[in-house]
């Protein structure tokens, strides 16, 4: 069986008892970064062997893992943090296993997008997860413009070195809306700020962005403005 196992997004205590049980029982753990996941395994006495499974080897490694599954062995798929397949490797392996009749189950748990949404205080009855915005400014601005007519909260992931550029694009494309920016959720320096995009850009110009960021834009591209 293929187990899709969610792991903590920061605090190592945010792992379920079932996740620990499964990771201890499988024959192999397919991890995005084996060095990173080794720390989690040491913390909970998990001794199953690790194999790397990341964006650039996902295509050919999926076939190798499928062969192991066909032998009747158990494989757990994990990412560096959160739920596999959500802006993390895993989709191709899950689809391949399903196409080949391999039993699949999910061990749910932490997800940065959902954690940020609940922390933000923004409407959560309807939301759209957009993953990472495009790297190039033109494509990024086009993607931002596309959310204006949408209802519900739009959720984006962003890296620290692109945060200021993205905030500037949000300001210019969406008219400087009040948005929410979270970072380092569940960690020591957890932060959640709700301000106009321009104010947030000013803040992070002075306080260098560090950690993993989640940006949340209210429905209509931020129609409610301060």
Query: What is the per-residue pLDDT for 59?
Result: 84
Q: Which two tokens stand for residue 124?
A: 């959560």
Distance CA 61, CA 52 (A): 8
What does the mean pLDDT of the chain come to? 94
Residue ranges covered by each domain of the chain:
2-107, 112-222
Query: What is the per-residue pLDDT for 223?
Result: 56
Q: How confident is the model at residue 222 (pLDDT cuts 50, 70, 90)?
A: low
Q: What pLDDT, in 10s, does the model give residues 145-202?
A: 999 888 899 999 999 999 999 999 999 999 999 999 999 999 999 999 999 999 999 9
| 224, pLDDT greater than 70 | no
Q: Are 190 and 142 in contact (CB under 8 A)?
A: no
16 φ/ψ angles, rounded to the nearest 5 degrees: -85, 155
pTM: 0.89
Mean pLDDT of 219-226: 61
User: Hey, which residues does 154 pair with through a beta bridge?
Assistant: 128, 217
Distance CA 112, CA 187 (A): 12
Q: Are 63 and 6 in contact (CB under 8 A)?
A: no
Residue bearing tokens 């006495």: 45
Q: How confident is the model at residue 226 (pLDDT cuts 50, 70, 90)?
A: very low
Q: What pLDDT, in 10s, does the model give residues 105-136?
A: 999 999 999 999 999 999 999 999 999 999 99
> By mean pLDDT, which of 55-59, 138-142, 179-183, 213-217 is the weakest?
55-59
Per-residue CA distances from 117 to 73, 106, 209, 216 (Å): 37, 22, 20, 7
Architecture of domain 112-222: 2-Layer Sandwich (3.30)
Out of 2.40.160.50, 3.40.50.720, 3.40.1010.10, 3.50.50.60, the CATH code matching 2-107 is 3.40.1010.10
């Amino acid at each position: 069986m293929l187990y899709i196992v969610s792991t903590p997004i920061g605090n190592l205590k945010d792992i379920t008892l079932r996740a620990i049980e499964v990771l201890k029982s499988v024959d192999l753990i397919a991890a995005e970064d084996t060095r990173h996941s080794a720390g989690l395994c040491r913390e909970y006495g998990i001794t199953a062997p690790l194999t790397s499974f990341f964006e650039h080897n996902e295509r050919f490694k999926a076939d190798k893992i499928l062969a192991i599954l066909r032998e009747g062995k158990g494989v757990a798929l994990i990412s560096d943090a959160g739920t596999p397949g959500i802006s993390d490797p895993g989709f191709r392996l899950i689809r391949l296993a399903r196409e080949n009749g391999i039993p699949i189950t999910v061990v749910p748990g932490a997800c940065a997008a959902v954690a940020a949404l609940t922390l933000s205080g923004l409407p959560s009855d309807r939301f759209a997860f957009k993953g990472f915005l495009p790297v190039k400014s033109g494509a990024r601005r086009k993607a931002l413009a596309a959310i204006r007519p949408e209802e519900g909260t739009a959720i984006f992931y962003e890296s620290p070195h692109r945060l200021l550029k993205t905030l500037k694009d949000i300001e210019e494309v969406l008219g400087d809306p009040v948005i929410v920016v979270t970072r380092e959720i569940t960690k020591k320096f957890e932060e959640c700020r709700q301000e106009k995009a321009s104010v947030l850009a000013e803040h992070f110009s002075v306080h260098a962005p560090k950690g993993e960021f989640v940006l949340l834009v209210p429905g209509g591209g931020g129609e409610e403005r301060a």
